Structure 1
């Protein structure tokens, strides 16, 4: 294809910028050939997993971040954070296992669970204002699939001494941090400091406490990751409290129309997708929905109002168009944000039919139901996460120790 033909169909690709010469870049890539192994999963926004072609040599990508890319693997986890939370409510601590983009306005920092032996990153230590080069743990935790390097837990030397003193495996540190950062009580009590600097994470004095905290962090990480199938949420028999949440329905009879035409998104300047108002209709829980939550609360040993307090006192029907909708999306699920993004609404904004060029596929519509249930499951973890934070904070070591 000529450059003109490509420009006709994909003008954004053939538009040169200050640091991007479109025709020269394309000429180089055509001569070199495509690196098919670099087609990979890519977390564009929270719960918005796409595919990307990662180009290592040219400016086809705005920034290729080669030092970040080399530690991406299905064995690794990454924690998204920012040095200062610009908004009043802290909603960082999202965990990904794929290449990921910035979450919210500005730049994100991604902290890996594992790094390759010998990797050095200039960054900030969580809990300290001192700039340092990350110091891998001395013990080898596993080999890479290529057999060319080893993977080590990404903790500082001081953190390694702490873990040795309490007798914990090094990877518990990462998931302990995840559990604390995703705790509503921690976020509330530390709202002002979180706007000023990196989060300060309390470290408990016993192996049992950090192990229990890490287990909760692993549950959070699994709920963040659509590739992990969770029994009762995304696979198997759906838990009673989630069964009626986010189901696809339609008004009247006839086939289900999956065209997203309720003005969830539109093209802004330079083709940037902008969120629209959409069609979210707030209402009270129906008798059947409330009965399901009451029954689920009894099974969990909770009071009838406990589940509605966690999920929200009202619910929404989220319309794709004039007839099709996701029914019963509890208020706190619908309003749930990660990195400043209202998760479900953000996902929908990119799939408006006028932008996508087609209706949703059935599996895409079902995926929205899954995300709704994953967020609900995260909200239902709040009491356990709060109790964990109380226990950890009450038994925290002084960092100087």
Structure 2
């Protein structure tokens, strides 16, 4: 910048930086408050890694008990995460959160064995969707269908949308490719496994609220 009083002279000891040095771009910096990290470290007698904390939070947010109990608050404010004092319980929840994240990123190894298969003869053209509750099949036209889609998977919603239904509706009037078919089978499997993990989380969640960390207010 120019020194005041001399617009043509540049300050020799001042530099304006719009961006961090290039060397810092690849350095991971956890977006967590020092207060949280210090309190968790003090309580657990060891410092949890940032990823563990993220996985724990993810698991809590997928607890049906948590969602139901605080539903009114979640409608009007950011979620407040209860942290257990029990490090072993924290680890268990963190592990379940990690499993969920791998599923939702479609990176989990369990997706290699999909619960659904694409069956029938004819075209892969998405014409008219129909779910056969009795046979657990999702028809995309009169002949072709995805089998093995249970009711709870078909009905599962994220963000107010019925996932399995919306994914196919968004492709109505198109021909499904082999990659599309594989992707849909993975999504259905991820939802099935998500439901199973949520049940595990709900078995643990009541223990969390029995002994919570109380954070100081600033």
* Unaligned stretches of 5+ residues in structure 2: 1-18
Is 1:261 matched up with 2:123? no
Is 1:221 matched up with 2:91? no
Q: CA deviation at 1:368?
A: 0.9
RMSD, aligned CA: 2.1
Q: Counterparts of 1:256 and 1:234 in 2: how far apart (Å)? A: 26
Q: Counterparts of 1:147 and 1:163 in 2: how far apart (Å)? A: 30
Tell me which residue corresponds to 2:73: 193
Q: CA deviation at 1:362?
A: 1.6
Cα pair 2:57 2:97 within 8 Å, conserved: yes
Q: CA deviation at 1:206?
A: 3.0
Aligned with 1:384 (options 173, 191, 200): 200
CA deviation vs aligned residue, 1:76-128 (integer Å, no higher than 9, x gap): xxxxxxxxxxxxxxxxxxxxxxxxxxxxxxxxxxxxxxxxxx99xxxxxxxxx
Aligned with 1:281 (options 132, 136, 141): 132
Q: CA deviation at 1:361?
A: 0.6
Tell me which residue corresponds to 1:336: 156
Is 1:349 matched up with 2:165? no
Q: CA deviation at 1:256?
A: 3.9
Tell me which residue corresponds to 2:12: none
TM-score, scaled to structure 2: 0.81
Q: CA deviation at 1:386?
A: 0.8
Tell me which residue corresponds to 2:24: 148
* Unaligned stretches of 5+ residues in structure 1: 1-117, 120-145, 263-277, 286-315
Tell me which residue corresponds to 1:170: 50
TM-score, scaled to structure 1: 0.45
Is 1:179 matched up with 2:59? yes
Is the partner of 1:385 in helix, strand or coil?
helix
Q: Which structure carries more relative contact order (alpha carbon 8 Å, separation 6+)?
A: 2
Is the partner of 1:394 in helix, strand or coil?
coil
Is the partner of 2:192 in helix, strand or coil?
helix
Q: CA deviation at 1:261?
A: 0.9
Q: Counterparts of 1:179 and 1:193 in 2: how far apart (Å)? A: 18
Q: Counterparts of 2:68 and 2:24 in 1: how far apart (Å)? A: 45
Is the partner of 1:152 in helix, strand or coil?
coil
**Which one has a bigger Cα radius of gyration?**
2
Q: Counterparts of 1:219 and 1:385 in 2: how far apart (Å)? A: 11
Q: Counterparts of 1:207 and 1:152 in 2: how far apart (Å)? A: 23
Q: Cα–Cα, structure 1 residues 148 and 155, in superposed 2: closer, same or farther, change >3 Å?
A: closer
Is the partner of 1:195 in helix, strand or coil?
helix
Q: Which structure is higher in strand share?
A: 1
Cα pair 1:258 1:365 within 8 Å, conserved: no
